[in-house]
Amino acid sequence: MSIHIVADPKLVADTVLLPGDPLRARHIAQTYLTDVIQYNEIRGMLGFTGYWHGNRVSVQGTGMGMPSFSIYAHELIDTYHAKRLVRVGTCGTMSETLHLKDVLIAQAADSDSAMNPSRFGSYQFAPTASFDLLAKAVEHAKAAKLGFAVGNVFTSDQFYDLKGEEKKQIAQSLGTMAIDMETCELYTLARMKQVEALTLLTVSDSLLTGEQVPPAQRQSTFDAMVDLALQTLFG
Ligand code: HPA
């Protein structure tokens, strides 16, 4: 067991879905998996293991932001020997070609976080998705006729950011498509620990228009993305 996930390592699968919201972890487990066990409830950060069409998979809530995400991903990899980690989350679009409810398959992550400068000093690390998972996600997204894009995400340290407008303009000028708060840390840890990782994000809001997906539609768009994640891993 580890500090924030208290479970017998045998209870956690080597493939893990990572929603930020622990209640979404429970929803995924209840909706998609069979023979489900709950292996963690420390701090309410629920974790479950079950089977999707015979394939063993865990679902672990991570909380919001890189520091919280990092704790759970770190412990899953180091203590529970996770080998494939797929974040299933939401993002805000800043691109005219990425629409509300589309899925962004995140190729790489820019960031304003201090975590990587603090780790690597002047070495400019490039946080990128694992190619095999990325390619499979594209194949399955096409087959399912999902509205999707492949592109970069800006992983922000602050949701309410005094300099948000300035950073958005830089990101847009670089062709960065959306904003989240976790992907940079997933891709960094995956490289450091030599495991596979991918982020899939449904667009929940627009930084261009201020529009948000209405709550009643959020669940179905999120579910389409979870389907894509499971097809990507096991299809
Ligand atoms: N900012 C940061 N993270 C997000 C957003 C946002 O607007 N929407 C969904 N995740």
Is any ligand 1 atom within 6 A of the Cβ of residue 181?
Answer: yes
Asked if 15 contacts 57 with a C-beta cutoff of 8 angstroms, the reply is: yes
* pLDDT score recorded for residue 149: 98
CA dihedral 200, 202, 208, 214 (to 10 degrees): -170
Q: What is the mean pLDDT of the chain?
A: 97
What's the pLDDT tens digit per position in 182-196?
Answer: 999 999 999 999 999
Within a domain: 25: yes
In the reported structure, the alpha carbon of residue 37 is separated from the centroid of ligand 1 by a whole-number distance in angstroms of 31
Give the residue numbers annotated as catalytic, written as ranges: 205
| CATH number, position 182 | 3.40.50.1580
Q: Which residue of 104, 185, 204 sits with most ligand 1 atoms within 8 Å of its CB, as the best mutation to test the pocket? A: 204
pLDDT at 137 over 90: yes
Structure tokens at 155: 């992983």
In a domain, 6, yes or no: no
Residue 149 three-state SS: strand
4 lies in some domain: no
Structure tokens at 89: 């989350």
Residue 2 lies in a domain: no
Instruction: Find out whether the beta carbon of 92 lies less than 6 Å from any atom of ligand 1.
Output: yes
Among candidate residues 63, 27, 81, the one with its CA nearest the CA of residue 72:
63
The pLDDT assigned to 216 comes to 87
> What's the pLDDT tens digit per position in 92-136?
999 999 999 999 999 999 999 999 999 999 999 999 999 999 999
As a whole number, mean pLDDT of residues 57-79 equals: 98
Residue from 191, 197, 179, 180 nearest 126 by CA:
191
Instruction: Please report whether residue 178 resides in a domain.
Output: yes
- What Rg value do the Cα atoms of the chain yield, rounded? 17
Element at 52 (helix H, strand E): strand 47-52
- Atom of ligand 1 at shortest distance to CA of 205? 8
Quick one: pLDDT at residue 86? 99
Parent domain of 98: 11-234
How many structural domains does the chain have?
A: 1
What b/e sequence results for 178-213 when a residue is b if at least 16 CB atoms lie within 10 Å of its CB, and e otherwise?
bbbbbbbbbbbbbeeeebbbbbbbbbbbbbeeeeeb
233 has pLDDT over 90? yes
Q: Does any domain span residue 193?
A: yes
In a domain, 151, yes or no: yes
- Beta 47-52 vs 84-93: how paired, if at all? unpaired
Answer whether residue 84 shows pLDDT above 90. Answer: yes
Share of the chain above pLDDT 70, in %: 100
Q: Is residue 5 part of a domain?
A: no
